[in-house]
Amino acid sequence: MKTMDFLSEFKKKRKIEIVEPSEEIKQSYIDKSESNLTSSKILLDNNQLEESVALAYYSMYHMLTALLFKTGIKSENHTASIILLNDIFGIDNADVSFAKKERVDKQYYINFKITKEEVLDVIKKAELFNSKLIDFLSKLNNSDIYLYRKKFTLLII
């Protein structure tokens, strides 16, 4: 019940809502996702580990945003988007949740140690997550989109 209250609150604030599905916006977020992942790898190669983690997460988040816009769902909240991934689409959100936590920890706190191996693990999770969402997106049809939009509407009542 907590999750539904959380999402309903964002609906009232118009932070999550139904919009027109947009192929153009979807593609823009895919492009942004790919750019973030490329940058994450460059940063890793240059020992900018904190920044690399952040961009690996944003790569995943932007791919998730692409999925939402493809189906005509707008979400202006990271946590809400991650919840919707599981609750609307039935896609495991563990890796993106993990990456979000890592990003927050590395960007906002100073009492941590991070290794290249840990960053590489986040990047690999991002690559796998993104490829799963690309595959999912490629299989979506208008009937699926209608059903996901209906599921979203019922979830946030």
pLDDT at residue 1 tops 60:
no
99-157 tens-digit pLDDT:
999 998 887 777 778 899 999 999 999 999 999 999 999 999 999 999 999 999 998 87
Lowest mean pLDDT among 29-33, 48-52, 106-110: 106-110
Q: What is the pTM of this model?
A: 0.93
DSSP class of 128: H
Give the amino acid at 42.
I
Tell me the CATH number at 32: 1.20.120.330
Per the prediction, the chain carries an average pLDDT of: 93
Looking at the chain, the whole-number percentage of residues with pLDDT higher than 90 is: 80
pLDDT at residue 4 tops 70:
no
Residue-wise DSSP of 94-116: HHHHHHHHHHHHHHH--S----H
- Predicted confidence band of residue 69 (pLDDT cuts 50, 70, 90): very high
pLDDT of residue 6: 78
Helix extents (H) in 13-141: 23-45, 49-70, 78-87, 94-108, 116-139
Number of domains in the chain: 1
The domain containing residue 42 runs over which residues? 2-155
C-alpha atoms less than 13 angstroms from C-alpha of 23 in its C-beta half-sphere: 4
Q: How far is CA 41 from CA 15, 52, 126, 127, in A?
A: 31, 7, 11, 11
